[in-house]
Amino acid sequence: MIEMIIKSSLEVVDRTERLIDAARRLLGVGLDEVEAYRLHVEIEKLTDVVLAMDEAARLLRRTFELRPEIARYSVVNSTVH
């Protein structure tokens, strides 16, 4: 379960990075200044979210690699709740 969460999180990060690259290419197409500025602001927000999510997923992976017993207890705890 934890592996699936980590894998899915990293896939979201990869897709979002591709979206950011596509949006940056749009900036060069010739949008008016207001649209370009708004798109640039959204790209920066997405970039911040992607970096935070990527860091969190990698930290989660490292945590469960170092302490695999946490995943075992987590599954039992989730099942009980």
Q: Is the pLDDT of residue 36 over 70?
A: yes
Give the per-residue pLDDT at 76: 43
Give the per-residue pLDDT at 70: 64
Q: pLDDT for 59-69, tens place per residue? A: 888 887 888 77
Instruction: Give me the amino acid identity at 78.
Output: S
CA atoms within 13 A on the CB side of 3: 3
Give the per-residue pLDDT at 38: 85
- pTM here? 0.59
> Would you tell me the crossing angle of helices 69-80 and 33-66 to the nearest 10 degrees?
100
| 26 SS3 class | helix
